[in-house]
Amino acid sequence: MNTNCTHRIGYGNDIHRLAAGRKLILGGVHVPFELGPVGHSDGDALAHALCDALLGAAALGDIGRHFPDTSPEWHNAPSLTFLQRTRELLDAAGFRILNVDSTISLERPKLAPFIPTMKEKLAEALGITPEQVSIKAKTGEGVDAVGKGEAIRADAVALIEPLA
């Protein structure tokens, strides 16, 4: 670990096509809706973006390196497991999470009622408090695949620091 810097920031994003017959899972929360993300795991775009942000901040690669979509181990796996394991990788590398901030882009349904539970579940998986987790939801305003209701996208940043 490079101890010359005190704080490190990472950025992550994820996008999934939406299709019938899949559950919409975001931040570990089932959001009732007729469409869900197409993916090898549960397709939780928010958790995936957070994994990439955290792994990037610690210079530990990306989600595909640690949880490849070619592995049967991760087929239909809950993405909160990815976050828990990512936290363990950061712990082993000597980092602690200070905060995470994220934005979910989804035309519908409205996510505001689900955000407090998402914050709690993400905080628990990351070993931090809900106050250290920020989640915002935006629509696509009818533009691109998100705006047309064909996809979900999540973006995230994470701030970490070396353990003292």
34: CATH: 3.30.1330.50
Query: Does any domain span residue 92?
Result: yes
pTM for this prediction? 0.93
- Which ranges of 33-130 would DSSP assign to H, the alpha helix? 45-57, 63-66, 79-93, 115-126
Query: Does any domain span residue 139?
Result: yes
Task: Report the number of distinct structural domains present in the chain.
Answer: 1
Query: Does any domain span residue 4?
Result: no
Tell me how many degrees the CA angle 34-137-54 measures, rounded to the nearest 5.
Answer: 105
pLDDT-derived band at 61 (thresholds 50, 70, 90) equals very high
- State how far the Cα of 37 lies from the Cα of 1, in Å rounded to an integer: 36
More confident residue, 146 or 67: 146
Query: Does any domain span residue 82?
Result: yes
Average pLDDT value over all residues in the chain: 93
Query: Does any domain span residue 154?
Result: yes
pLDDT in tens, 88-145: 999 999 999 999 999 999 999 999 999 999 999 999 999 999 999 999 999 999 999 9
Query: Does any domain span residue 3?
Result: no
pLDDT-derived band at 46 (thresholds 50, 70, 90) equals very high
Query: Does any domain span residue 51?
Result: yes
> Which structural domain, as residue segments, surrounds residue 158?
11-162
* 3 state SS of 58: coil
Query: Does any domain span residue 143?
Result: yes
User: In degrees rounded to 5, what are phi and psi of residue 116?
Assistant: -60, -40
